[in-house]
Amino acid sequence: NAGVTQTPKFQVLKTGQSMTLQCAQDMNHNSMYWYRQDPGMGLRLIYYSASEGTTDKGEVPNGYNVSRLNKREFSLRLESAAPSQTSVYFCASSEAPQESSGANVLTFGAGSRLTVL
């Protein structure tokens, strides 16, 4: 049982290049999330997908696109990378409560470290 798997673990890009970060979970979770973490700071939500077929913007969506390919997979794409997007990216998933007031526990992947030169 792998949990949440992210690829690649490390990537170096030049300004203007594009790339896609992949995330897959094997826990049959409904919701998936992409966060970024800059040095010395907490995590900031980029995009999330509450259920298969839906995606929504989080706190810092500019410069990113996402695709919820199926229930297991949620990818994050940088169309034209900028140095400000140098960060560690974390994917997470959760079962999500049936009612909006229920508890929501996230399981995180190990992270993808991206450097944009």
Kindly tell me which of 42 and 53 has the beta carbon lying closer to other proteins: 42
94 binds other proteins (CB under 8 A): yes
Closest distance of CB 13 from other proteins, Å = 19
63 binds other proteins (CB under 8 A): no
41 binds other proteins (CB under 8 A): yes
Q: How far is Cα 77 from Cα 30, in angstroms, rounded to an integer?
A: 21
Query: Which one of 16-24, 35-43, 65-73, 78-86 is the stretch in contact with other proteins (CB under 8 A)?
Result: 35-43
Q: Each residue of 57-90: b (16+ CB within 10 Å) or e?
A: ebebbeebebebeebbbbbbebeebeeebbbebb
